[in-house]
Structure 1
Amino acid sequence: MHTPTSIHNFLDKHHSVTFQLGWSTTIICLSTLQFGFHLAELNAPEDILACNFHKPGPYPDYNDTFWSHHGYKQCIPMTQEGVALITTMFTIGGLISSIILGATSISQKFGRKYMCLVSSLGYILGSLIMTLANNQISVNVGRFINGFAAGSSLIMSPILINELTPINHRGLLGSLLQLAVTIGIFLSQIISYFFSNDQQWRFIFLCATGLGLIQFLTLFTVSESPKWMIMQGHDVKSATNILHGLRSDKSTVHYEINHWRQLSINEQNRKSESVDDTSALLSESDSYDSLILPLVNQRNNNNSRSTAMARKGSIDPSTVTTREFMFSKKYRNQFVAVILLMTAQQLVGMNAITYYGVKILNDLFGNHHETDGDQVLILSCSFSFVNVLSAIAISPLIDRLGRRPLILLSIFICSICSLVIGVGIINQYDVAVITACFGFIIGFSIGLGPIPFLMISELSGHEVVSIAQSVGTSTNWLANILIAFGFPILQNSIGGSVFFIFLVNSIGYLFAIWYYVPETKGYNSVQDVWDNFT
């Protein structure tokens, strides 16, 4: 029998995915797809771009190409440090963008959709500059702009999807963002397979320009966040119209609008006076407000659900400063856990393969000229394809198997594979290196890839979750910079032994996460997570 919607039960409604919601989610996911694309775009062509590797193209001579006719160089001479720098500029741009968005209210002032549009323009501009680059400075500028766009999109895309999506689909549609990253990496490797040669490498960046243009144009068909419209502009009419296209059950629209209006009132009150713990919880939650909570809490069967929703995270300003979160004894456990997870994701060495996998294999096989690199490009595409399959396979298992066991298993597998890769490179065991690379990618994908960002909101209290996200993202970018710039220099100096550093890192993180990071699966509150961690 149909139950009428009321203030008591509208949060429990199970909506289906409407066309507008599905379409909007797909277009927003192009942001993280482009992040994955730019993450791996230099993997195959970087040595060709830098004049350190030569591979013929389809024309008899470079002078016969479109690029030559318009005055563009066949390659841009760079040292190994120069190659490392252009890879690193992407991560520096991402770090600066993350810091700016975390420390300011730009996204709240201008809107989620607007910021996604700006990010897509950044992707277009950065990629176009790289396409037309004739010197190292231009390449670095393009990479920096792409990184800046990536840092913004990694923060804004999850927020926009979260605010468009009904509660029962937030986990599913939110997980598509991570899948889009792996698809972007795979897409860049496929395109690189066809265009990584002396004559056509610029087409890789031109394709990236096209991706940015496609997203920019299609974003105009995407809905702005109705929550943001209520919270910042108080545009009830437009928000209501948008929600009618996003919700399969129209009876909930009125109550969601009133819910956000109450949140807006709470937010204004918070600016003028102190709030108690309950109102702070309500202002941080995506799903509850002071009008609804007292009524829902009278229903015992909803108590666990209400607490769980409070753990989903926040995009509203934190009531605690960054300094307090980082240095206060009260939040020390949460801070340490977030830092361990977010740096582990980078420092076990996955992005060494993402950024420099082709160079590693070229050195292993002794490919330095002509057509020897085709097998390496095929392997690189295979690595990316396995990454996509692993991401799809693990998604439904995270809630069943738990976060901590998968993270620990992931690090253990990566440590074993780092050992094999290091020994294999030193002794020229090509089969062992290739097998270990596949194992490394699978190991990373089952834990360290998808889980750290997921766990931030589950480890952090409602009053610090937005700060935890900002600090965690920034440290993740910093660790990414270390890999992007440091790996090729170390590889030049000590060869395959660089993977023994990742082995040591992995062992260290294995013990640190065992001792300092709790399981979050099955607990209804952050307090329960830490109270039950021994």
Structure 2
Amino acid sequence: MGVKINKKLIFFLGALGGLLYGYDMGVISGALLFIKNDIPYSSWTEGFIVSAMLIGAIFGSGVSGPVSDRLGRRRVVSIIAIIYIVGALILALAPTVSVLIIGRFIIGLAVGGSTAIVPVYLSEMAPTEHRGSLSSLNQLMITIGILASYLVNYAFTPIEGWRWMLGLAVVPSLILLIGVAFMPESPRWLLEHRSEQAARDVMRLTFPEHEIDKEIADMREISRVSESTMKVLSSPWLRPTIIIGCIFALFQQIIGINAIIYYAPRIISKAGLDESASILGTVGIGTVNVLITIVAIFIIDKIDRKKLLVTGNIGMVASLVVMAVLIWTMGLHSAAWIIILCLTIFILFFGFTWGPVLWVMLPELFPMRARGAATGVAALILSIGSLLVAQFFPKLTDVLPVQEVFLIFAVIGILAIIFVVKYLPETRGRSLEEIEADLRSRTSATNVKMEEDK
């Protein structure tokens, strides 16, 4: 690395992929209100426009994890930035629905890559005592991206400028592409593929000096187990953890957050507010999302991850039940602003619990040699969950009253509480190597492998 880089800038640039993910996830909600005026399409096609990005994300997350384990996190981030730029330009210039869908699919490849790589990079760059707060920057950037998309949507609503809405993703994509030149590679990847000195040089940028020797020694101990990425990924001892990680990622998507992010303007519009007011309502929701995520950054290393998740679930379920009851008793049109309030409360509880904690915990759960690939598998399942919500939520609201749909999400939230309490391990306050050593010792994986090596 020829250029000395500020520690804060490393984590900002590392999390910038999350901002693009959030922007492209949120911007479509406003653009859909106006695309139909220029490019006619059916309600079935609308689902494809939204879900094309999520289909692309399935491929992107599935491929980027293993590739990053081979090529390095930094190199894959630069590829993701280029894909974001190409996708945004295609969307801005799209003449037909087919090209829109292709552009959304290309954007999805980058989104999937971001969900798999950004959390891993931040987790591996962060010292143990601050890993939760620094890894939470990914979720903060996602929420900032969502809020930015809502603000852009609101700004271009008077001219129905959906092409501007979609195309402005080029700006942060270019910043990310330029910023990659100043990002160091992950020290854990460098130790595996380059040298101990290269890893130490990078760790001096973000780790306290007195922690480096211990971290290197722990990484060396794990590295003694001579397994390939694919062998670790397919090993019986890791399989239960991968399943837990995948279910964890799936729950984050199907507890209702993406139904709110993708279709908030539509929900609010159904309640009787005009298009401008609908988008402005989402700006308020997005602002709360950003502010509460900032709060989460300060508390996530002080409270056990599982306690945060259960607290968040209780708040989200309560807001959904209250909203459903009020719609039933007052009617959808009479409850317009109450709906916005309940959606905001839902976002508030999601924003300081399930939003950031998932991105912190996923890389923590998996071993060094397969961290990128295993996180990629979980991110793939996350993208599938997001796709299911995007594809079926509009259809559910067509055949069921909105309040009944929200009650379905409330039931899913209760199931998520049971999963967290019963199956999810606690990871706060432990180094990545300590978590891996515990995982291996519980399955006797280390001892077995070392005997084989002898």
TM-score range, shorter chain: 0.7 to 0.9
Q: 1:361 aligns with which of 268, 283, 286?
A: 268
Residue 71 of structure 1: aligned partner: none
Distance, in Å, in 2 between the alignment partners of 1:408 and 1:341 is 13
User: What secondary structure, in the 3-state scheme, does the structure 1 residue paired with 2:29 have?
Assistant: coil
Residue 312 of structure 1: aligned partner: none
Q: Is the 8 A contact 1:342 1:475 kept in 2?
A: yes
Amino acid at match of 2:21: F
Distance, in Å, in 2 between the alignment partners of 1:228 and 1:161 is 13
Q: Does 1:117 align with 2:24?
A: no
Residue 183 of structure 2: aligned partner: 222
Amino acid at match of 2:267: I
Distance, in Å, in 2 between the alignment partners of 1:173 and 1:485 is 33
Residue 322 of structure 2: aligned partner: 420
Q: 2:394 aligns with which of 488, 491, 494?
A: 488
| Deviation, structure 1 residue 252 | 9.0
More helix by share: 2
TM-score using structure 1 length: 0.71
Residue 413 of structure 2: aligned partner: 506
Q: Deviations over 1:217-263 (max 9, x none)?
A: 23223334465456435596xx489649836988999x699x59x97
Q: Does 1:393 align with 2:299?
A: no
Q: 2:384 aligns with which of 478, 482, 498?
A: 478
Distance, in Å, in 1 between the alignment partners of 2:301 and 2:16 is 26
- CA 1:281/1:495 → structure 2, altered by over 3 Å: closer, same or farther? farther
- CA 1:461/1:124 → structure 2, altered by over 3 Å: closer, same or farther? closer
Amino acid at match of 1:396: F
RCO (CA 8 Å, sep 6+): is it higher in 1 or 2?
2
Q: Does 1:411 align with 2:302?
A: no
Alignment of 1:116-155 (within 5 A): 116-155=77-116
Residue 246 of structure 1: aligned partner: 205
Could you say what the CA RMSD is over the residues aligned between the two structures, in angstroms?
A: 3.5
Structure 1: gaps spanning 5 or more residues: 1-17, 52-74, 267-277, 285-315
Distance, in Å, in 2 between the alignment partners of 1:500 and 1:250 is 51
Residue 27 of structure 2: aligned partner: 41
Distance, in Å, in 2 between the alignment partners of 1:412 and 1:516 is 18
Residue 8 of structure 2: aligned partner: 22
Amino acid at match of 2:59: I
Residue 52 of structure 2: aligned partner: 89
Alignment of 1:173-212 (within 5 A): 173-197=134-158, 199-212=160-173
Q: Is the 8 A contact 1:518 1:530 kept in 2?
A: no
Distance, in Å, in 1 between the alignment partners of 2:361 and 2:342 is 27
Q: Deviations over 1:89-116 (max 9, x none)?
A: 11111111111134x4x32443322211
- CA 1:198/1:492 → structure 2, altered by over 3 Å: closer, same or farther? farther
Q: 2:40 aligns with which of 58, 69, 77?
A: 77
Q: Deviations over 1:258-309 (max 9, x none)?
A: x59x97xx7xxxxxxxxxxx6557779xxxxxxxxxxxxxxxxxxxxxxxxx
- CA 1:415/1:212 → structure 2, altered by over 3 Å: closer, same or farther? same
- CA 1:458/1:440 → structure 2, altered by over 3 Å: closer, same or farther? same
| Deviation, structure 1 residue 208 | 0.8
| Deviation, structure 1 residue 464 | 6.9
Q: Is the 8 A contact 1:162 1:170 kept in 2?
A: yes
- CA 1:210/1:456 → structure 2, altered by over 3 Å: closer, same or farther? closer
Q: What number of residue pairs does the alignment pair up?
A: 431
